[in-house]
Amino acid sequence: MLSTLSISNYALIKELKTEFSNGLSIITGETGAGKSIVLGALGLVMGNRADLNSLKDTSKKCIIEGVFSIEAYDLKTFFEEEDLDYEEETIIRREILPSGKSRAFVNDTPVTLSVLHALKEKLIDVHSQHKTAQLSELSYQFQILDALANNNTLLEAYSDELIKYKKLKKEFTVLLESQEAAKQEYAYNSHLYHELVEANLSPDEQEELEQTLEKLNNSESISSSLAESVQLATDEQVGVQNLLYQIKAALSKIASFSEEYANYEQRIESLKIELDDVVFELEKSIENVEINPEELERLNDRLQLIYTLQKKHMVASVEELLKIRDILELKVSQVENASELIQEKEAAIAAVEMKLNATCNKISKNRKSAIPTLTKQLEEVLSKLGMENASFQITIDPATSFYTNGKDDLRFLFSANKGGNYDELKKVASGGELSRIMLGVKLILSKYTKLPTIIFDEIDTGVSGEVSNKIAEVMQEMSQYMQVITITHLPQIAAKGDNHFKVYKKDIDGVTTTFLSPLNEEERIIEVAEILGGKNISESALEHAKELLKA
């Protein structure tokens, strides 16, 4: 509920702070006194757009602050999702700067206007004669019926399952489309895939083949060079081995004379050992040099196959060919296993659909059970509001598809007169009748769900006599379940309030300023008397006002 509203430098208001309480609060005042300004300020704090015209003094910023008691509204999840500090006494502040820019805060945390709009839906419901159109909206009619049917938990479960269902259906559609596209390419992809499989490629194969072929293509030259190298190393007269032997023999004669000469001998010995080892390896290599035209042809063919595949797939390595093979395998398998994948997805959809239908049946059953109660309560409250012959025909029929709130088609028909034809509300109910129906609906809903603070903005316009008394009684009854704030011109309604505020204008130092002040008992008598008879209050008006306030 709205606990406190503070307004600074807004329109005709210089500074204003008003505290509200539970029950029925009445706001009265002459036409043009500024009731719409108060509503406008409340609208700004709840996220309406603003401009510089909102500022009374354009050199200073405008600040509007609302304090709301929110412990009964189950908003902790909302605050967590928006990363806001949850406080049972939540402060919402809106600032409009002289530059025209505005800022919004919830418990001192900056927020966007969209967050304020979301909070507004949960905290404030401003209702006027011009805002009865939602009565004709199917979603709102379902909302009324579901409140009486206590369907909230079932609808939450249904919503979760519906999200899964739609996701699965979308995936199924994508699967079918991809399968159709894959089928068209299947033959070609299958050929490419099996071609790569038959090639039996290995990652390092190309490099090894190229090296082996290089050796085979130059086998004669290699063999000749190896033989020449061995000859130069092993020749008895001038071979390197024989020369090193002679050098070692010469050095051995002087090795004992100094450590330096001994070191020379050891190093020559090391060279001789290393050379012997190299000669041994060269002799082995000569034996391994192969001149095999058939093997050369086989390897050339294999390498040519790899080059051809690389050119076909426009890649430069075997590793890339292997990746393409894996991709083709997936594409081919998707088509070959399509029926299995489709069956799995269909089974998943069927399972969720079964759950949805079971939940829908429970929701529908509860709705049908609630219809007599809703019809009876609506007709009873409308009878109190001067619509004695008002009656409703509300029916539920099974739908063929899943809606956002179940699987029902709802017909919410109304007749204002005995023997009259039933039709949709927007077609047969007048503006005044729609206002009273909405009032009745709000009263009924207030008994079944926690409604936000409701502000009735002169919905009693054009109503008088006994009907105004009944409207006042309905508002008073509503205020037992929720906070009700009513802006009115009717004395019968003004007298029913638990609290009474007056909006008025006053000229101070040549500047017109709007005020909103609570009235005490004596002031209420005078205000109600003024509503009854005008500024010139008669004794009879005062007595009448006292009687209304005591009633």
Structure confidence at residue 81 (pLDDT)? 92
Structure confidence at residue 35 (pLDDT)? 86
The rounded distance, in Å, linking the Cα atoms of 432 and 436 is: 6
Do residues 16 and 7 lie in contact, with contact meaning Cβ atoms separated by under 8 Å?
A: yes
Structure confidence at residue 281 (pLDDT)? 86
Query: In sequence order, what are the residues at sequence separation of 6 or more whose Cβ sits closer than 8 angstroms to the Cβ of residue 190?
Result: 332
User: DSSP assignment, residue 55?
Assistant: B
Query: Which amino acid type is present at position 285?
Result: S
Do residues 27 and 503 lie in contact, with contact meaning Cβ atoms separated by under 8 Å?
A: yes
Structure confidence at residue 176 (pLDDT)? 82
Structure confidence at residue 290 (pLDDT)? 66
Complete DSSP assignment for 355-408: HHHHHHHHHHHHHHHHHHHHHHHHHHHHHHTT-TT-EEEEEEEEEEEEETTEEE
Number of neighbours of residue 318 by Cβ within 10 angstroms: 20
Structure confidence at residue 337 (pLDDT)? 67
Give 278-323 pLDDT, tens digit per residue: 888 888 877 776 666 777 788 888 888 888 998 999 998 889 999 9
Give the three-class secondary structure for 91: strand
Do residues 81 and 92 lie in contact, with contact meaning Cβ atoms separated by under 8 Å?
A: no
Structure confidence at residue 205 (pLDDT)? 83
Computed over every residue of the chain, the mean pLDDT equals 88
Give the three-class secondary structure for 143: helix
User: DSSP assignment, residue 54?
Assistant: G
**Residue 16, token pair as written in the block:** 């204003």
How many angstroms separate the first and last alpha carbons of the chain? 27
Q: Of 80, 81, 104, give the one whose Cα is nearest residue 91.
A: 104
Considering the four listed CATH numbers 3.20.20.70, 3.40.50.300, 3.40.50.2300, 1.10.645.10, the one that applies to the domain covering 1-129+458-519 is 3.40.50.300
Q: Of 109, 48, 100, 36, give the one whose Cα is nearest residue 79.
A: 109
In the chain, which residues have pLDDT < 50?
Answer: none
Residue position matching structure tokens 């503070």:
6
Instruction: Supply angle C-alpha 216, 219, 220, rounded to 5.
Output: 150
Give 464-514 pLDDT, tens digit per residue: 677 888 888 899 999 999 999 999 989 999 999 999 999 999 988 888 899
Q: DSSP H helical segments within 479-520, as ranges?
A: 491-494
- For the chain, give every residue range classified as CATH 3.40.50.300: 1-129+458-519
Number of neighbours of residue 153 by Cβ within 10 angstroms: 8
Do residues 381 and 443 lie in contact, with contact meaning Cβ atoms separated by under 8 Å?
A: yes
CA distances from 527 to 24, 93, 488, 538 (A): 17, 32, 12, 12
**Residue 378, token pair as written in the block:** 């609506």
